[in-house]
Chain A
Amino acid sequence: MKFLDTLFEQKSRQLAQRSSRRGMLKGLGTLLVGGAAIPLLPVARASAAASKPAEEGDPNSCDYWRYCAIDGFLCGCCGGSANTCPPGTEMSPITWIGTCRNPVDGRNYVISYNDCCGKSSCGACLCQRDEGDRPPYRSDKTNDVNWCLGTSSAVYHCSTAVVVGVAFED
């Protein structure tokens, strides 16, 4: 069955490639939001890249600003860092996302709490702040689940807190 699915998927993908001349319009980035066609300048895309904020505080301490919605062991205390997994573990592509306010510039940033997986629980620096955690009736908005999905091992070791963008504010 899996094989069939993959086959159909490939097929429809090839077809799609043949039937569409390379995206002229799309290349210009025509964006339709809420019913009005609006052209988008390439500059807009460049500025969307996540910028590295100025920071202060101790990334191995639970009160560090990026940990506002974390629930787990801090990778910084486990041989990794707030951005990287300890050697011998693998970062999960499926992750829990939140926003935290950076006290240095007062802006809110999008934080991705990617879990590191493949070794048993690190056990050091347990940090449960869960600010902004919502009730667990929706799987995408609770951090109290094992996010070791998409990795070769589902064993949870520790959590990172990577800045992936600036929160949008009107």
Chain B
Amino acid sequence: MRTSILVLSLLLSTVCAANESAWDKAHFNYQMFCQGCHTPDGSGANSVPRLKGHVGTFLQTEEGREYLVRVPGSATSSLDNEELAAVLNWILIEFSGDSLAENYEPYKVDEIGRLRRNPLNEVVLYRSKLLADIAHRGDAKQ
């Protein structure tokens, strides 16, 4: 009995340590590859859009979900698929605030690999069209 509790708690702490390190690694990769433009808290500036309190909105449509991966900053980064998935999931949790639905689906590694093969060239118009679609969808529901 004792030993199994001990084993269990050992197991649990290993799992927690692993999480912590996955989280730290994702944060580190954000700092190294994204933060220079996106700023430490995701506020952005100038042509760099605000992720903070907003980025989760894109997950309301499939195209929006794909957009976060296909945008050049994500798609053409030197992170591998696994690292990019972790950074995007980190961004969603860290910066979305109320813009992320509770039942959202985090990004999966193979999904990232598939989507980033098709990076966007023209982002600005595409982005405003996406946001317009999302806003209209909301109108229709009400």
Interface residues, chain A, with chain B CB atoms under 8 Å away: 1, 4-5, 8-9, 11-13, 15-17, 19-26, 29-35, 37-41, 43-45, 47-48, 93-97, 99, 110, 112, 138, 140-141, 149-150, 164-165, 167-168, 170
Contact = CB atoms under 8 A, between A and B. Distances in A.
Nearest to A18: B138
A23 B103 CA distance: 10
B5 interface: no
B7 interface: no
Contact of B22 (A21, A38, A48, A141): A38
Contacts of B20: 40-41, 43-44, 47
Contacts of B78: 138, 141
A8 B96 CA distance: 17
Interface of B: 15-16, 18-29, 31-33, 35-37, 39-40, 43, 45-46, 48, 53-54, 56-57, 60, 73, 76-78, 82, 85-86, 89-90, 93, 96, 98-102, 106-109, 128, 131-132, 134-135, 138
B27 to A, nearest CB: 6
Nearest to B102: A25
A35 B89 CA distance: 10
Given A26-B100, A150-B46, A40 B109 contact: no
Given A94-B39, A110-B31, A9 B45 contact: no
A148 to B, nearest CB: 10
8 contacts: A5-B131, A15-B138, A16-B60, A16-B101, A29-B93, A31-B23, A40-B19, A140-B73
Ranked 10 nearest A-B pairs via Cβ: A150-B45, A32-B106, A168-B28, A15-B138, A44-B20, A11-B135, A16-B99, A8-B131, A33-B22, A33-B86
A110 B32 contact: yes
Contacts of B93: 26, 29-31
Contacts of A97: 31-32, 35-36
B85 A33 contact: yes
Main SS class of interface, B:
helix
Contact of A12 (B29, B82, B131): B131
Contact of A4 (B48, B60, B89, B128): B128
Contacts of B40: 112, 164
B57 A13 contact: yes
A69 B16 CA distance: 34
